[in-house]
Amino acid sequence: MVRDAFTHVTHWVFDLDNTLYPPQARLFDQIEVRMTNWVMSALKVDRAEADRLRTHYWHSYGTTLAGLMREHDVDPAPYLEDVHDISLDHLELDAQLARAIRALPGRRIVYTNGTAPYAERVLAARGLSGIFDAVYGVEHAEFLPKPERAAFETVFARDGVRPERAAMFEDDPRNLAAPHDMGMRTVHVAPDPVPHDHIHHHTDDLGAFLDRLT
């Protein structure tokens, strides 16, 4: 039983985007438009070049912001405030997911490459406010992004996460490699499975998967 693989877990770590809401909501489409516009304005380039740079930053550094900071010494605060100023109208309340998360034994946290204020807005729109013990954004990792191991280590040290007794839920397979190497149970949350040695489990329905654990 899958439940047996989680009996040791006392710390549950959830990514936010496309993990605690379905990818069909397409929030990141809005964020990507704002990121491209921001790169165009800040670096004085056209849209095609901005998209090329964003792809380069994502592959090289993990996020657009990380690339902007590394290569252009960009101040992260204005960027983060701007790109997360999006509509959440397409998000729906999910009472079943809220109930499943609330039933998990131990400490429950959110850790996103977005910001904590943005995460709080998303959680509220999903009916998930008040069920997590803490919410961490990239600002709590000193602006290091997942998938960098140092980013995980910074946030986990802040919260007291013991990786050998923790589980990580993520939509991006890259972001499960470091947690796996640190000793965490890893769950890929996405429509389709992606076989990797660092992924222990896959689900396309987070609420139903969590129900199986309790």
Can you list the domains of the chain with their CATH numbers?
Answer: 2-22+92-213 (3.40.50.1000), 27-83 (1.10.150.450)
**pLDDT digits (tens), the chain, 214 positions:** 899 999 999 999 999 999 999 999 999 899 999 999 999 999 999 999 999 999 999 889 888 999 999 999 999 999 999 999 999 998 999 999 999 999 999 999 999 999 999 999 999 999 999 999 999 999 999 999 999 999 999 999 999 999 999 999 999 999 999 999 999 999 999 999 999 999 999 999 999 999 999 9
In a 3-state reduction of DSSP, which class is residue 110?
A: strand
> What residues does 186 pair with on adjacent strands?
168
Whether the full predicted model's pTM is greater than 0.85, yes or no, is: yes
In a 3-state reduction of DSSP, which class is residue 18?
A: coil
